[in-house]
């Protein structure tokens, strides 16, 4: 890395996600857990020979799913960060295995915003920055939908004015 005057100093991204992302993550986790719990419970009701074990598994899975839905989103919220500068997009995710992705503006090929049904209910959006990286796109989940639209517009403006080959 170059040192001296004009050198870019890497640092952790400063922006947090929108606090509503905690509710979005909780809802996704509960929906993911609900399917297997319902299947196990229905099977437990109809299969008398394995009723106890199926209902026990359904109860344990429901308890673990509810516990994870309460705790994990709070933990994720504290660790996910993002930032956009005139030089790059920075995203840090992960709890146990932290991943820090940096997408230089000259490498950005497309900028997309996505709002699934749950995101729309929470007024959130995901910004996806596609580069030529083998690792894939850089995603910033859990942004306020208006901020996500402004960010996509800003990134488009910056990348249009940035020299580079975007490959």
- Angle at 125 (CA atoms; ends 139, 9), nearest 5 degrees: 40
How confident is the model at residue 167, as a pLDDT?
56
pTM above 0.95, yes or no: no
How confident is the model at residue 12, as a pLDDT?
81
Q: With a cut of 50, which residues of the chain have pLDDT below it?
A: 1, 6-7
How confident is the model at residue 17, as a pLDDT?
96
How confident is the model at residue 11, as a pLDDT?
72
Alpha carbons 137 and 145: distance in angstroms, whole number: 19
How confident is the model at residue 120, as a pLDDT?
96
H helices present in the chain, as ranges: 21-46, 51-79, 117-121, 145-160
């Amino acid at each position: 890395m170059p040192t001296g005057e004009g050198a870019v100093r890497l640092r952790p991204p400063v922006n947090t996600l929108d606090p509503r992302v905690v509710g979005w993550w909780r809802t996704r986790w509960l929906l993911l857990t609900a399917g297997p719990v319902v299947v196990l419970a229905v099977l437990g009701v109809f299969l008398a020979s394995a009723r106890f074990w199926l209902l026990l598994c359904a109860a344990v899975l429901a308890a673990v799913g509810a516990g994870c839905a309460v705790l994990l989103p709070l933990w994720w919220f504290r660790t996910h960060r993002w930032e956009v500068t005139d030089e790059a997009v920075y995203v840090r995710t992960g709890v146990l295995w932290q991943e820090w992705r940096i997408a230089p503006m000259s490498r950005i090929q497309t900028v997309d915003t996505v709002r699934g049904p749950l995101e729309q209910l929470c007024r959130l959006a995901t910004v996806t920055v596609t580069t030529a990286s083998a690792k894939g796109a850089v995603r910033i989940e859990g942004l306020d939908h208006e901020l996500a639209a402004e960010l996509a517009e800003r990134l488009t403006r910056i990348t249009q004015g940035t020299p580079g080959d975007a490959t």
